[in-house]
Structure 1
Amino acid sequence: MICQMGMAVFKGIPHTNGYTVTSYNFYLRPHSCTSFDPTFMCQTSSLEFLQRFKFDFNKWLYGGITSMNTDEENELCTTLSSVIKGQKIVDLPYTVRDQVNDLGVWAVSANEGDTTTVTNLSEATFQFMLVVSVRHRFSDLWASMQNGEVLIQKVTEDSRQKLEMQDPGGKKLMEYFVDRMLGFTKIFRYLVDTQKPIVLHNCLLDLMLLYKQFYKHLPRSYHTFKTDMHQLFPTIYDTKLIAAEIKSSLKQADDKGGSLLGNSSLSDLATSLKRDHTALYKPSIHHVPKTNKYNGEEMMLHEAGYDAYLTGSSFLYLAHLYAMLQLPS
Structure 2
Amino acid sequence: MMVEITRNNFEEKYPEIEGRLRSAVFVAVDTEFTGLLSDPAFKPSLFDTGSERYGKLRRSTEHFLIMQVGITAFRFIEDKNKYKASKYTFYVFPRSFASIDNIFMCQSSSLEFLCQNHFDFNKFVYDGVPYLNQKEEAHLRKELSKGSLFHQLDRTVDLDDEKSIQLVCSRVAKWAASAVQGDTLDLNNLDICQGDIRLSYVMHKELRQRFPDIWSFPEGGLIRVKKISHMQRKALEENEEQHKTLEETVMHSLLGFSRLFKLLTELKKPIVGHNILLDLMIMYNQFHEQLPTRLNDFKEEIHRLFPVIYDTKFLSFQMRKILIKEGNTTCSHSGEY
TM-score range normalised by the length of the shorter chain: 0.7 to 0.9
Contact 1:7 1:23 in 2 (8 A): yes
2-side partners of 1:126 and 1:234: how far apart? 39
Shift of 1:59: 1.9
Query: Counterparts in 2 of 1:4-19, with a 5 A limit?
Result: 4-19=68-83
* C-alpha distance after superposition, 1:228-260 (max 9, x if no partner): 11111111111111121112111111143x432
1:79 corresponds to 2:143: yes
* C-alpha distance after superposition, 1:262-303 (max 9, x if no partner): xxxxxxxxxxx6xxxx42xxxxxxxxxxxxxxxxxxxxxxxx
Q: Mark the CA change 1:143 to 1:169 in structure 2 (over 3 Å): closer, same or farther.
A: closer
Q: Mark the CA change 1:181 to 1:150 in structure 2 (over 3 Å): closer, same or farther.
A: farther
1:115 corresponds to 2:148: no
1:260 corresponds to 2:324: no
Shift of 1:27: 0.6
TM-score under structure 1 length normalisation: 0.73
| 2:274 corresponding residue in structure 1 | 201
Shift of 1:155: 2.1
Shift of 1:97: 3.0
Letter in 2 for 1:138: F
Q: Which moved more, 1:225-234 or 1:116-125?
A: 116-125
Q: Mark the CA change 1:147 to 1:66 in structure 2 (over 3 Å): closer, same or farther.
A: farther
| 1:126 corresponding residue in structure 2 | 199
Letter in 2 for 1:110: A
2-side partners of 1:47 and 1:146: how far apart? 42
**What SS class does the counterpart of residue 293 from structure 2 fall into?**
coil
* C-alpha distance after superposition, 1:180-200 (max 9, x if no partner): 101111111111111111111
Q: Mark the CA change 1:159 to 1:135 in structure 2 (over 3 Å): closer, same or farther.
A: same
2-side partners of 1:47 and 1:89: how far apart? 31
Segments of 5+ residues of structure 2 without an aligned counterpart are: 1-64
Letter in 2 for 1:121: C
**What SS class does the counterpart of residue 79 from structure 2 fall into?**
coil
Q: Which moved more, 1:101-110 or 1:227-236?
A: 101-110
Shift of 1:68: 1.2
| 1:53 corresponding residue in structure 2 | 117
Q: Which moved more, 1:1-10 or 1:45-54?
A: 45-54
| 1:299 corresponding residue in structure 2 | none
Q: Which moved more, 1:169-178 or 1:125-134?
A: 169-178
Shift of 1:147: 4.2
| 1:96 corresponding residue in structure 2 | 165
RMSD of aligned Cα (Å):
2.2
| 1:32 corresponding residue in structure 2 | 96
Q: Mark the CA change 1:39 to 1:251 in structure 2 (over 3 Å): closer, same or farther.
A: same
Q: Mark the CA change 1:210 to 1:147 in structure 2 (over 3 Å): closer, same or farther.
A: farther
Contact 1:83 1:90 in 2 (8 A): no
Shift of 1:168: 5.6
Shift of 1:85: 8.2
| 1:44 corresponding residue in structure 2 | 108
Contact 1:31 1:37 in 2 (8 A): yes
Shift of 1:89: 6.0
**What SS class does the counterpart of residue 80 from structure 2 fall into?**
coil
Shift of 1:9: 0.7
2-side partners of 1:250 and 1:4: how far apart? 35
Segments of 5+ residues of structure 1 without an aligned counterpart are: 262-272, 280-320, 322-329
Q: Mark the CA change 1:168 to 1:209 in structure 2 (over 3 Å): closer, same or farther.
A: same
2-side partners of 1:130 and 1:216: how far apart? 31
Letter in 2 for 1:108: A
Contact 1:84 1:132 in 2 (8 A): no
Q: Mark the CA change 1:85 to 1:45 in structure 2 (over 3 Å): closer, same or farther.
A: closer
TM-score under structure 2 length normalisation: 0.72
Query: Counterparts in 2 of 1:1-329, with a 5 A limit?
Result: 1-83=65-147, 88=151, 90-91=153-154, 93-111=162-180, 112-119=182-189, 120-122=192-194, 123-147=196-220, 149-167=222-240, 170-256=243-329, 258-260=330-332, 278-279=335-336, 321=337
Contact 2:98 2:152 in 1 (8 A): no
| Bigger RCO of structures 1 and 2 (CA < 8 A, at least 6 apart) | 1
Q: Which moved more, 1:105-114 or 1:221-230?
A: 105-114
Shift of 1:84: 5.6
